Amino acid sequence: MPARCVLLCIGNELRGDDAAGVVLARLVGGRLAWTVIEAATAPESFLGKIAPAAPRALILVDAIDFGAQPGEIGVFAADRLSGGGPSTHAPDPAAFLAALQMTCPCPVAVVGIQPAGATLGADLTPPVRRAVESLAEALLCLAPRPQPHLHS
């Protein structure tokens, strides 16, 4: 895993399992050497923060309906989401990914967590909560940790 990576976490915390990305950002934020962005439902608003980080890779995490069992995690190439894709967010994620490639060309992986539902006012369902916690544990094992600051 590259040291300069951006973890872009997308989701709507008011819509049940759609909050998966936001919850992940809160679990790992500050605990990785990566730039972790809690983008809510507007990842395009963070293009100006991503480019200066000059990432060697970007991992986008979102609740994505890819026809699996609730809580299953899938990893997709960014081009798999072109043409509307299975993302739960509008507008089309392909437009955001195209803008990202123009401002910050780097490899992009999309990590999708299969939602059970996105009911307004609901909490994460147990299978999605377990998936988010497992993904957080995996990232904390695989990704570099922040280096302590030495004072002279």
**What local confidence, expressed as pLDDT, does residue 10 receive?**
94
In a domain, 83, yes or no: no
Q: Is the pLDDT of residue 120 over 70?
A: yes
- DSSP annotation of 108: E
In a domain, 46, yes or no: yes
Which one, of 58, 5, 61, 57, lies nearest residue 38 by Cα?
61
In a domain, 94, yes or no: yes
Q: How many domains does the chain have?
A: 1
Report cis status (omega within 30 of 0) of the bond before 115: no
Helices 20-28 and 126-142 cross at an angle (nearest 10°) of 40
**What local confidence, expressed as pLDDT, does residue 88 receive?**
45
pTM of the model: 0.86
pLDDT cut 90: percent of the chain above it: 58
In a domain, 82, yes or no: no
**What local confidence, expressed as pLDDT, does residue 7 receive?**
96
pLDDT, tens digit (0-9, with 9 covering 90-100), for 57-71: 999 999 999 999 999
Could you list the residue range(s) of the whole structural domain that residue 139 is in? 1-7+35-68+88-115+128-144
Least confident of 36-45, 94-103, 116-125, 135-144: 94-103
In a domain, 22, yes or no: no
Mean pLDDT computed over 106-120:
92
Least confident of 77-86, 131-140, 143-152: 77-86
For residue 86, what pLDDT band results from cuts at 50, 70 and 90?
very low
In a domain, 122, yes or no: no
Which one, of 50, 48, 47, 16, lies nearest residue 36 by Cα?
50
**What local confidence, expressed as pLDDT, does residue 35 receive?**
93
In a domain, 58, yes or no: yes
In a domain, 81, yes or no: no
Mean pLDDT computed over 42-68:
91
